[in-house]
Amino acid sequence: MENSVKFLTETVLRISGVDPRKCMKCGKCSGTCPNYDAMEYHPHQFVSMVEKGQIEKLMNSDSIYLCLGCMACVERCPRNVAPGKLVGAVAQLKLRQQDMNRKGGNDVAAFADEIVPQQLLMAAMRKYRK
């Protein structure tokens, strides 16, 4: 798979549908992000780093797995940028690289116990592996 900055940036922009140029750098997304402290790169940084083409840095950060997918930043962004969609798109791009599964099917299955809801396992399957 191609890995040029251009390819990665274009792919992220295409599959996320996000236009980072709309961002006015207000920081609302990072002000509202419930999991801010756990993330190495924060939602507003995803926007500016994608714009600058620093996708690989983001791909190699655990931040992409720490987004809760709650869309608070998407809903509240005053510029209709939707930073959360960028996080999701970068995570997706990472999965598409060879051998870049976060967890294998068996790892996810190991989480199964008497209480964990099926949909959480299903979600993990979707989020952590190709």
Cβ atoms of 9 and 20 within 8 Å: the answer is no
For position 13 contacting other proteins by CB under 8 A, the verdict is: no
The type of residue at 68 is: L
Which of 8, 20, 74, 83 is close enough to bind other proteins by CB under 8 A?
74
Minimum CB separation of residue 59 from other proteins in Å reads: 13
Half-sphere exposure in the Cβ direction for 26 (13 Å, CA): 14
Please list, in sequence order, all residues whose beta carbon lies within 8 angstroms of the beta carbon of residue 73, skipping any fewer than 6 positions away.
28, 29, 30, 32, 33, 43, 82, 83, 84
Tell which one of 35, 51, 54, 57 touches other proteins (CB under 8 A): 35
Say whether residue 123 binds other proteins (CB under 8 A): yes
Binding site for other proteins (CB under 8 A): 14-17, 22, 24-38, 42, 44, 65-66, 68-72, 74-80, 85, 87-89, 91-92, 102, 108, 111, 115-124, 126-128
